[in-house]
Each structure stands twice: as C-alpha cells, then as structure tokens.
Structure 1
C-alpha cells in the first residue's frame, strides 16, 4: 500500500509542475497582450475569439509539453542536450552543428527530401504556410500589430506601440502586406492538396491512417485556407456579399483548429525543435571514447562489435531504472545493454528455444 501511494505521488508531481508552468505561460501571454496592445487600446474586439482560443491552446500546449519533457527518457535527452549546448568545448568543436541542425531538422527539413521530392515539397508548403500564417495572425490578434490611416492615402504600421513604417495604400508594399495571409493560404493549399492526394491514393497510407488523427487536421486547414481566401474575394470582387457568414465560419474553424493543436497530429511541430538537442547529443557522443565493457575494448560481450558511448549506455540504463525495468541476465553475463542489437536478438532466440524446445521451430 505504501509503495502504491509513493508511486501515485511520483506520478502526480509532473502533472502539478506542468499545471503551474501552464498557468505561468497564460499569465505571461496575457501581460504581453496588455502591454503590446498599449493597455488594450490597439486590441480589436472583433478578434477576441481568436485571442481566447489561442490563450487556451497555449495553456494546453505548455501543459502537454511539460508533461512530455518530464518523462524519464525525454528529460535525460533534454537535460543532456542543454548541457552539451552550453559546453564551451562543444561550442568550439561543433560551432556549425546547431545552425546546420536547425536547417536540416526544422527550416529546410532536408531529412524528408531523402524520402522523395514530392513529400519534401508537401511538408515545406504546409510547414511554412502554417508558420507564416501564424506569424501574421497572432500579432494582429493580440493587438501587437496594427495600422492607422494617414493623409494622402497612406498607412502607418505599428508594432508594440512603436511606429515602424509608412507606406502608400496602392504601393507594392501595401499590396504585399494586406494580402500576406492570401499568399500563405495559397502556399498552404499546395501542400494540403499534395498531402490529401497521397492520403487517398497511397495503399500504404489507406491501410494505416485514421480519419480523426491523419485526415481531419488537413481538412480543417483546407477549410481555413478556403474561407480565408473567400473573405478576400468577398471584399475585393463580390462587394462584401457573404462576408459576415464567411468571417464567422472562418473564425469558428480557426478556433477549433487552435484548440485541437495540443491533442492532434500537429503537436509534433511543437516537439520537433527538441530534435536539435538530440542531434547535438548524438554527435557529441559519437565522437567520445566508446564505452568499455571488456577491459580496453568497449565492445559487445558476445561478438565484439563496438558499442555507443559511455554516456549513452549509462543514460539508457538510468532511464530503464527510472521506469522500473531491469535486464540483468544473471551470472557473469552482465546486463542486456552490454550487447549489440544483433546479439540481443540472438540471446532472445536462444532463450525462447530453451523455454519451448522443438516447438519454437
């Protein structure tokens, strides 16, 4: 009974810490909205639905991310990644590693290019379409970014209450600024159409995909893009017809999408930057002296193949210990982590054969 109580307490601590961090993130965001909108003077009340949904999404994302980070395997990678990042020796030896990892893993996503050019184009269009759309929408929603009309048909751009730029309404700059969300919607649509085409034609995807997890997020993004482009068409070509209905529909779909972010497929966008720390961890450890299990060898107990670095093996054993999983083989055979992957499979096969005899074959 006492052990069960201690286990429940250990499980509740990460949730309590995640709750505190989520509340702090909400307070910080509300303060930034208040300050950035100059005491709510620049806040557009018509966008309050977007703002409230974004606030709830930030709280849920922070809560789930904090829980994810607190898991034993993730926390060890996370902690080791930051320790390697702030190491002066690593900075001197791997100065270009972090910028390169940001390009290959995040901004350029070149690892997807190895799977095919069309898949890479699909991911890039969706990634940059969503990212650029949020970069425009969120500052407008929070009142950080707004425009004021000046004489002679000019606009003044403000950011956090600071005047930045004056431009003519009919200029190229003005057209690009006021149609920025249209450009990002078109970019997003290219990626979405490619993704949906693959989802409905690829036999492998049809066999394993789930509508709620794999297709619904894409459908919602299509709805956001189409209704957003329709708003521009209504104001520019249709004389404002259907604008109220389109704006309400657009806002409702965006709010649902924002609220679904912490619980759906697109949460991996939030998780992905952590791969930078993993890349640094792996690179640093590959260059370290290999783990010595036999004296002066650092090789598998059975076949002699080189094993990963000492830190990697020690972290693996520590994580398994945190999870209550112990793989001591008994006698002088050591632990399962002291064998290479091939020999682990051989040991497992031998154990099955000893247990089942000829029935195993």
Structure 2
C-alpha cells in the first residue's frame, strides 16, 4: 500500500486514479483519508469501491499460554488487548508487534507455516554461491530503488551474475517455456525472449503481471555443461509388453510387437541441446529425428527378432546410445 498526498481545493475536484492490482476483482482500491487516517467528510466515489477482503495487514504477537482450556480464544484473557491499536515494532508483552499479511479472516496458522522473510541485506550477509536467480516476487527488479533485491544478488555478492525480476507487481509464470530453451543451450536473454513471446496474445491480467519484467545482468550468459554431463537416451516404447497395432495388449517379460509400432525415445540431461536422434534397426539407419518428441514408425515386414538402437548426439558432440531387442510379427498386409 502506498500513501500519496492529495490537496483538495474548494469547489469541485476531478482526480483520475489508475492502480494496477494483482488479479483482483477490484478495478481500483484507492481511498482518501485525512492526515490522521480519518474519512474525508462529504467525499463520494464513482464507482463505489467494493470492500477489500482478499488481503489484509495485521499485527501479531505471542505465543501466549492459556491455562484455562475452556476459555475460547475470542475471550480477552490477557487484559485489554482488544482496545489496543499498536503499530509495527511497538512494545508488546512478548517482544514487539510484528507485521502479518493474510486474508480475512486471518489464518494465523498459515502465517507461520513458511520460512522467514528474505531481505536484500540478508543476501549480502549470507553471500550464497549462486550465479543466476529468477525471483518470484513483486518488485525486486525496481532498479530505481536503493538497495533493490535483484541488484543486491549481483553487485553485493561474490557469485551473482544475473537475475530476472519484476520491477512492479508480477513475476514469471509458466516456467517451462523459459527453462526448456535454457536447457537446450539458449542464452538467458534468448530464453527470456522466447518465454515472453510464447505468452502472447496477452490478456489484461497478463499485461499487468508480465509487463515490467527485467533482466539485470548480461543476457548473453548461458548454462555451460561440463564433459561429464553427457546426455542419456532410453527407448520407452516398446517396453516389456505385448503390443497389437501400436497399442499395449498386456504386460509381458519382454517386448513383443504384432503389426506396426511407433518406437519412442526419451532423452534426459540434454546438456547444451540435442542435435538429433538416429533410429537403427539391426544396424541399419532408418530415421534421423532432430525435433522432440523423438520417434520412428517401424512398419517394415518382419517376422522374428530385431534389435532397435537409438543414438543421441548433443551440440558438444557427446553421444548416448539406447538399445532393446524386440520380437516382431508384421506381415505388412494391411
């Protein structure tokens, strides 16, 4: 919540207020008050703003023990607290009053069911050995603020190189659209661009949520995988089952195929990205697929055993091989 000083002159005043909210049902939630927080007499709103109930700011303090188990929590057994209107960090019977943000009614259990707050000062003190952060919170990329969080990860730590953050309300959603090109060897800037492009066309809430996302740092940075991070590949179809015309008929101790079968391969740990996957039957190359999902339709006439090999090659030249033996009965007469 932000307070803005407004001077009302004698006569009629016209004031246009545009407030962007996080996916709320309230088009705008501005309220006018006197300097001491009291309502302004004679002031009306058009349209009349709805009561805000989806979020609230509270003050919490405790824990206190109540020896009388029959006393309900609604009973004032501490002595006059229901008439006290404290401010954050004011003295309390147990330490000071602390800020709590939640819905209405306030769920005090949910408030304490998470970790502590993280401030920019905390990051500088802990100095975590992390190079890249994608900050899922509102406002850490507001680089016009002193000591903004996204900058603290980079400029005031030993390891931080780049952050993605929102300079206002919002953050990244649908992370797969970002991490997938990143895992394929794209730079952080390229992956961010592809993520942003894939979210289009933008609805109003998406504009309010995504506009203002920024990259702090060098967008040409990319993930570097060492030579030990070679890809792996596995034939996931056919598996240990009996297949009838490309569908599982029943589980079996080995792959048995009747009719055509779509051979499917799954690549894990793609490193800088996979160049292609080659499908071989009994040592003969049948197909080269350069786009996931990797598959090949085995529809040749065949009776008996055959060996299926798949070979994945990544952008660094690393190879991975997966194999299986299959019993095939395909007369290829349909």
Which has a greater percent of helix?
1
TM-score, length of structure 1 as denominator length:
0.21
Larger of the two Rg values belongs to structure: 2
* Higher RCO, Cα 8 Å, sep 6+: 1
